[in-house]
Each structure stands twice: as structure tokens, then as C-alpha cells.
Amino acid sequence: MNIKLIKAEEDYKIELNRLDVILNAPIGSPESDEADKLAKLIDEYDQTHYPFDPKD
């Protein structure tokens, strides 16, 4: 598991694809832990680059 910050759109797309692959990993497995960490990084990137405005 080599997790790093998501700094560019290309990194974001790569990590989204990786999360898609490991999303349903058994709880407690290394892949499940990786998925949890990736989800947090992806969410942080989303909030920064694609803010949600509930008025839209």
C-alpha cells in the first residue's frame, strides 16, 4: 500500500479507479484499510476542487 496525497486530477482519477477495485474488500483486510484511507483523501480532494453548493 503506497498511499500519497492527491495533488492533481490525474492522481485523483488513478485513486478513484483503485478505490473501485478494492471497495468491497473484507473488513479488517489490508485492502479495506487502504480503501478507508483512499476514501478520505478522495473526499478531501472533492471538497477542495468540486465544492457542493446546496443552492444549485
Number of H-type helices and E-type strands within the chain = 2, 0
Lowest mean pLDDT of 4-13, 30-39, 46-55, name the range: 46-55
pTM: 0.85
Residue 56: the pLDDT is 60
Residue 3: the pLDDT is 86
Distance in angstroms (rounded) separating the CA atoms of residues 34 and 43:
14
Model pLDDT for residues 6-27, shown as the tens digit of each residue:
999 999 999 999 999 999 999 9
Distance in angstroms (rounded) separating the CA atoms of residues 2 and 46:
20
